[in-house]
Amino acid sequence: MPVLGADMDEGTVLEWMVKPGDEVHKGDVIAVVDTAKSAIEVESFSTGTIEQLVVGVGETVPVGTVLALITEPGGERAKPARAAPAAARTPRELAEPEPTAPAGPAPHPVSPVIRHRAHELGIDLAAVHGTGRAGAVTRADVERAAVALHQVPEQPAAPSPAAPAPRHPRSRPEAEPRAGRARVTPRARRIAAELGVDLAAVTGTGPAGAVREADIRQAAGAGTPAPAAAASAARSAAERNQSMRQAIARLMARSKREIPHYYVTNTADMTQSMSWLHDRNRELEVSQRLVPAALLLKAAALAARQVAELNGYWVDGAFRPAEAVHLGVAISLRGGGLLTPAIHDVASLELGDLMARMRDLVARARSGRLRGSELTDATITVTNLGDQGVESVYGVIYPPQVALVGFGRITERPVAAGGLVGARPVVTTTLAADHRATDGYTGARYLTAMSDLLQRPEEL
Amino acid sequence: MTPDLAEAAIKEALGQVTPGADTTAIDADADLRDTLELDSLDFLRFVEILSERTDERIDEDDYPQLATMSSAVKFLAGRASR
């Protein structure tokens, strides 16, 4: 169970995207884990073959617990899939019984895109006959298999994530997939969870009695959630709010307890940026247009690259600079709470790409589909409260980061320039920084660098 | 486009941007961004959907006219009758 944020102690496996015998590559999403804040897609730390899923769906385990075993290519020993970065725990896999050899033909090499498509369609790649070069499975093979619907994945019927069944991982072998139990497509499983349908009570009408989406919808009652299911969903939203509040409380209290914050503030003239943006957007379709926040984020990232003492982590009494600028972006969720997922390597992104990433990230943050790496990789965070109409924001640093950049609203103000007073768009920028890592002088250099960058928007 | 159709399109677009929000009881003269707590990305998405729905090009210079329900209805209805 990886640490998906400094405030996480334990997590619940909501869904496995892989099964024993599947080939995975580093970075592939292999599971969905529920934390206090949201459901998060967990990526594999290594490349190899899934040997065993150690923690079952619905189980809650502390961070550092081995979730699955992966055999690396050429390796003989199974390795734990993504141990916690700071884990000093005894690997539990040594005490685990040897897993039985996975059934089914060995999987052919499959590209991540095809694998993703297969997952979407609920197709077991191991059972797909490849027609590509060297027997490789092609997209057409996968889609053909989906149409035929004869290849339902060999997955056990898992308890619905709502089922309160936290077990000790050691009891897992008894809960291994049982033959003869109804099979469920991943899509059906997800819909069952959304609608609050108990999978065990659903009769499958697919091949070999597999449970399909239609069966779930029927069980839920003519495609609409039953009142009871709706009520329980609402309750879990309230619970989510409460647990998120507590997670934020813990982390922010820790920040203010441990980090001696200092603050600097500046006013950046946005005349050049706004006029450049306006000219650029005039020629573009709505979907291609930029919002001012894209310029602000890019400037914040480039300035962090220039003033590298603010980009990194305070760990074990010393500052560790980060190689790239992964910009954490505070995103408020409808209904309360916030998440600060990272956009990777912002300093090297084109503005159009950055804009697309921002839109994607906000949409996924609000729908609960962020990836683990997005929640752990931020090297400096930005909060932009300008849309809420405030002039400035003095942030609280996300430990172990050492700085947080704040933007207020871009608004017209009387500004004196060359002995004349004129109305110009300006934005108040603030920096909260860790005084253990840097001094006010460094913070001042950062804000000045950012302001300078915003005067040359064409170079952003 | 009739004002009724324009209003329906606006409400549908708002509904997509803010799932779960009640778009039926929006005050005609209230600021949409404030009422629905739309940030700049939400507003851009709103404009995008509205533009697709109504097949109208909506430029940045037109944004102020989308501030409230009544001004937005007037804007869209006026557009299509040209």
pLDDT digits (tens), chain A, 460 positions = 888 877 788 888 888 989 898 898 888 888 888 887 778 888 888 888 898 888 988 888 888 888 888 888 876 555 555 444 433 333 333 333 333 333 334 444 566 667 766 776 666 776 677 766 666 777 677 666 665 543 333 333 333 343 333 334 333 333 334 344 456 666 667 667 766 677 767 777 766 667 777 777 777 764 444 444 444 444 577 787 888 888 889 999 999 999 999 999 999 999 999 999 999 998 888 889 999 999 999 999 999 999 999 999 999 999 999 999 999 999 988 777 888 999 999 999 999 999 999 999 998 988 878 888 888 899 999 998 877 778 899 999 999 999 999 999 999 999 888 899 999 999 999 999 999 999 999 999 999 999 999 999 999 9
CA distance A291 to chain B (A): 7
Task: Tell me which residue in B34, B45, B60 faces A278 most closely, judged by beta carbons.
Answer: B60
Identify the residue among A387, A388, A393, A410 best suited for mutation to test binding to B, counting B beta carbons within 10 A and taking the highest. A387
Could you tell me if residue A217 is inside a domain?
yes
Specify the pLDDT at position A208.
Answer: 63
Question: Could you tell me the pTM of the whole model?
Answer: 0.66
| Domain boundaries, position B7 | 3-17+38-80
Sheet strands (E) in A253-321:
261-269, 312-315, 318-321
Residues in chain B: 82
Specify the pLDDT at position A111.
Answer: 67
Omega of the bond leading into A400 within 30 degrees of 0 (cis): yes
- As for how many domains chain A has, the answer is 2
Dihedral angle computed from the Cα positions of residues B15, B19, B25 and B30, in that order, rounded to the nearest 10 degrees: -80
A365: which chain B residues are within 8 Å (Cβ-Cβ)? none
CA distance A304 to chain B (A): 24
Specify the pLDDT at position A90.
Answer: 30
Please check whether residues A221 and A364 belong to one and the same domain.
Answer: no
- As for how many domains chain B has, the answer is 1
Could you tell me if residue A235 is inside a domain?
no
Q: What is the CATH number of the domain that holds A435?
A: 3.30.559.10
DSSP class per residue in A387-422? GGT-S-------TTB-EEEEE---EEEEEEETTEEE
Q: Is B47 on the interface with A (CB under 8 A)?
A: yes
Specify the pLDDT at position A45.
Answer: 83
Could you tell me if residue A1 is inside a domain?
no
Specify the pLDDT at position A252.
Answer: 93
Task: Tell me which residue in B18, B40, B45 faces A334 most closely, judged by beta carbons.
Answer: B18
Please check whether residues A53 and A175 belong to one and the same domain.
Answer: yes
Integer angstrom CA distances of residue B24 from A407, B10, B15, B17, B51: 33, 11, 10, 14, 21
Could you tell me if residue A399 is inside a domain?
yes
Specify the pLDDT at position A146.
Answer: 63
Could you tell me if residue B32 is inside a domain?
no
User: Cβ contact (<8 Å) for A286 and B51?
Assistant: yes
| Domain boundaries, position A155 | 10-229
Could you tell me if residue B54 is inside a domain?
yes
CA–CA separation, A257 and A261 (whole Å): 10
CA distance B15 to chain A (A): 13
Q: Which of A110, A185, A196 shows the shortest CA–CA distance to A150? A: A185
Specify the pLDDT at position A296.
Answer: 96
Could you tell me if residue A198 is inside a domain?
yes
Q: Which residues of A touch B (CB under 8 A)?
A: 278, 281-282, 286-287, 289, 291-293, 332, 334-335, 358-359, 362, 387-389
Reported as type and span, the H/E element at residue A34 is: strand A29-34
Specify the pLDDT at position A272.
Answer: 95
Q: Give the pLDDT mean for B51-80.
A: 89
Please check whether residues A359 and A406 belong to one and the same domain.
Answer: yes
> What are B34's two structure tokens?
């404030």
CA–CA separation, A15 and A13 (whole Å): 6
Specify the pLDDT at position A279.
Answer: 93
| CB contact set of A460 (below 8 Å; sequence gap of 6+) | A295, A298, A299, A302, A351, A453, A454
| CB contact set of A148 (below 8 Å; sequence gap of 6+) | none
Residue B46: closest CA among chain A residues belongs to which residue? Answer: A286
Is ipTM > 0.90 here? no
User: Cβ contact (<8 Å) for B41 and A334?
Assistant: no
Please check whether residues A48 and A154 belong to one and the same domain.
Answer: yes
Please check whether residues A47 and A129 belong to one and the same domain.
Answer: yes
Task: Tell me which residue in B33, B41, B61 faces A291 most closely, judged by beta carbons.
Answer: B41
Could you tell me if residue A194 is inside a domain?
yes
Residue A362: closest CA among chain B residues belongs to which residue? Answer: B41
Which single residue is written with the structure tokens 């700085």? A403
The band of B10, judged by pLDDT with boundaries at 50, 70 and 90, is: very high
Specify the pLDDT at position A84.
Answer: 41
Please check whether residues A316 and A443 belong to one and the same domain.
Answer: yes
Specify the pLDDT at position A7.
Answer: 73
Could you tell me if residue B22 is inside a domain?
no
CA distance B41 to chain A (A): 7
Could you tell me if residue A238 is inside a domain?
no
Task: Tell me which residue in A282, A291, A335 faces B40 most closely, judged by beta carbons.
Answer: A291
Please check whether residues A187 and A331 belong to one and the same domain.
Answer: no
CA distance A385 to chain B (A): 9
Amino acid at A55: V
Enumerate the H helices of A157-226 as residue ranges: 186-195, 213-220
Task: Tell me which residue in A362, A388, A389 faces B41 most closely, judged by beta carbons.
Answer: A362
Please check whether residues A183 and A264 belong to one and the same domain.
Answer: no
Please check whether residues A370 and A266 belong to one and the same domain.
Answer: yes
Could you tell me if residue A152 is inside a domain?
yes
Could you tell me if residue B26 is inside a domain?
no
User: Cβ contact (<8 Å) for B40 and A358?
Assistant: no
